[in-house]
Chain A
Amino acid sequence: MRYAETGYNLEIDLATGNIERVETDPKLMELHLGGLGTSVKMHWDRVPPETKPFDPENLLIFSTGLFNGTPAYSSNRTVVSFISPQTGLLAYPMMGGFWSAELKYAGYDKVIFRNKSPKWVYLWVHNDTVELRDASHLEGRGAVETQDLIREELGEPKAEVAAIGPAGEHKVFVASIEQSRSSASRGGGGAVMGDKKIKAVAVRGTKDVYLARGAEFMEHMKEVTEYINFRNENPLPGVMTILSGIGSPQEMKHTDEKWHTESFAWGNARVRRKDFWTKEVEEKWTKTHLGTVKRLISCFNCPQQCGGLVSYEGVPRYMMKCFSKLTYLMAAYVDDLDFGFKIAQRAFEYGVDSFSTPQILAFAVELYEAGILTDKDFEGCPSDKEGRFMWLLDRLALREGIGDVLADGTYWAARKIGNGAEEYDHNTIKKHEQMNIKLGMLDPLYYLMFATNEKISITQIEGNWPQAAFPSREDREAFVKDWPQIPDDKFKQYFLDWEPRGDNSNPYYPTPQMSAEIVDWMEMLHNIDDALCLCAGMASFCLKPPYHIHNYPKLISAATGMDLDEEGLKKIVNRSRNLHRAYNIRLGLTRADEKPPEDHWRKRFPELEEELLTTYYKYKGWNYDGVPTKERLHELDLDYVAEDLEKRGFLKDGQD
């Protein structure tokens, strides 16, 4: 009997249509837990670094985590992993929703696609019945509507469907995979899915998921539940509303958008509008918001309500989450929330990443205004801001005209267009569009998170440490007094001494050593979440979360039957992180790639930044180039990785 995991994967060879149910090695859970951890291991073992994103050998893995389907609140994520067409590195966008639980109940931990299908297909997984079905009639259909069409066609209203839209079909590098109220959107998973000619993956399961020590698991969950209730009743003082609670920011609930609209940059991540949120705007936006969001909704087994059912007049209904209500309108310089709701519907049906896409469109507008793109490129484009964005979105999603170039994302488009376009690609890291934030003073923690993490997306790296120092010592003392989540008491002192101004403030405090330790803590928790497929909103992405390093080992032990303590758990995710890093090193990642956008902060400190990076690498057990040392790999039982890195010349003899 296997506990927490099902112990089976589905292996789908798209070229032959062969489907196999493969039992997995129980040892893998001990070494890598599950979710992202075991997926990275599979990519390392099976996809050599010569593989290009659109090669048949590029595996596309849909993975559940260890906790999906268990009673652990908020374990509802799915990790999709593949070599990204945009970055060339191993991407692992995640989606919430309901899909992973359904796959676990169907009796599988992962679905692994290899090769390419000769014609459009979708996979239907219904317990022991697994089949590739013809999807030629679904070609061109939206990513949202496809989900209902498949449910209807199968006569299975409870099937959960992850689908791509036309953007994925056209291998747009920012194409997403959409599912219920969620999407796996970063890095172009939709493009890889489209390249393999998979329109959708539909799942329905009615089998048991087992817990090794269920009663004990529930006892721990009782404590977690009490803490959730406590945090819901006691929002944190001293931080803005959006950060004061648990869960990911409740964007569908809150109508107050002063913080986003005034702190984040408009257009192509250019301009902060510090006087935007006037009384008049507030009234108008609140009215639109409340009239449009019909209900707040959650993902599987989650008490939070990060999603909303959107019903805007004249636009088909859809579900929305997070920041997507603002990304398009801010990028387009449109002051009207109505536009946000209108364009998002079209974007979700196309199936595109709502972080990257608006920036690409804004980038195109800038190039046009600068004369680098011409009237010929924009032939037929309406002249108003809203119409122009809609027109550009259509072109990008369908790879028509100038859209064919834009569909590769800002970095690649800039190089194709040339003629100075490269300078307008100012907000990417490792060829990937970043949050539209432009700030003043270098922040050492954010510097490291932006520069080094394999995720290449800040919102899924940060979280447990407050974003800014608290002005009064009194407030800081109150904050650390009740902070059971910290992995080590020393962090309390770091926080107490951290001040908004003066000697103990950014960029020199926290010191590079402290910064490395704090960043390592946050990464560690994100890596645990991603192995369990538990939503970061209830653990690594928020302040004082219900799940943390002190209760996770107890929950994992009770669920799996492994006896795991904190050190053991840290070692597992450290192993997976180092394997992930080694994999990306093999794919060509270098120290030179590890830097935030030049204009992210106005005040930069090149020497300090070098020191930060070197200190962090050292702390992680990596050499000057960011490559895990032989010694560190040995500690983590990854000698086979060290050997491979040596063989390929990434680790030199005598160098650790």
Chain B
Amino acid sequence: MAKIKKTIKTIRVDADKCNGCRGCEIICSAYHAEPKYSSINPAKSRIQVLTHRLQNIWLPVFAGEYTPAECMGRDKYVIDGKEYEECAFCRAACPSRDLFKDPDSGLPLKCDMCEGNESGPLCVEWCLNDVLTYEEREEEVEEEVEMEEMEIGLGSLIDKYGLDKIASTVARMSQKD
């Protein structure tokens, strides 16, 4: 298969430097307002600073993919004696919580790295304490056709039961109709 180049975009979060100002939330919501910069509402921001002040927790988290179903179980991390809230490090807009949903419509929000803005993600630019750093790199990856969700599911079934068994089951089920 041919090799292709893919751009990996990363925002490096040095949470130890965060002073908890929520400036990233402000600029994010302003940039994504319609028209641009016409309104501000941190609740609509695609980055949220999870905060427990007296526990010394200031954790900026970016909105990732939407998920229609929550995980089978949740996680709760304790690091250096600090107990983070449930699923704190997960970026999903998930039914288990309010995070990363538009407060009015409930629709999921997702960080788009401020697509269209020449200087890159604005939260990075706006944070004057250098908590956020934007990094871009190119990686060579095997060209492959991205599998759709059903293919992924079928693939895992084939791995488990073998292609023959799956094929005969599908054939049997389709005859029932």
Contact = CB atoms under 8 A, between A and B. Distances in A.
Interface of A: 69-71, 73, 98, 101, 105, 148, 157-158, 180-181, 205-211, 214-215, 217-218, 225, 228-229, 232, 294-303, 305, 309, 311, 317-319
A105 B43 CA distance: 9
Contact of B40 (A157, A180, A208): A208
B154 interface: no
Given A73-B23, A301-B26, A303-B128, A215 B36 contact: yes
Contacts of A225: 126, 128
B103 interface: yes
Interface of B: 19-23, 26-27, 30, 33, 35-44, 51-54, 56, 58, 85, 103, 126, 128-129
A210 B53 contact: no
Contacts of B53: 180-181, 297, 309, 319
Given A71-B30, A309-B53, A303 B21 contact: yes
B26 A71 contact: yes
Given A214-B33, A317-B54, A301 B21 contact: yes
Nearest to A127: B103
Contact of A300 (B21, B30, B56, B129): B21
Contacts of A70: 40
Nearest to B23: A301
B22 A208 contact: no
Given A71-B40, A205-B43, A218-B37, 13 more contacts: A71-B30, A73-B23, A101-B42, A105-B43, A181-B53, A206-B43, A214-B35, A214-B37, A214-B38, A215-B35, A297-B53, A305-B19, A319-B53
B41 A105 contact: yes
A638 B154 CA distance: 79
Contacts of A217: 37
Nearest to A102: B42
Contacts of A318: 54
Contacts of A215: 35-37
A311 B80 CA distance: 15
Contact of B30 (A207, A218, A296): A218
B86 to A, nearest CB: 12
Contacts of B51: 157-158
A205 B40 CA distance: 12
A214 B41 contact: no
21 contacts: A69-B40, A71-B27, A73-B23, A98-B22, A181-B53, A206-B41, A206-B43, A207-B41, A209-B40, A210-B38, A214-B37, A215-B36, A215-B37, A217-B37, A218-B30, A225-B126, A228-B128, A298-B20, A301-B23, A303-B23, A303-B128
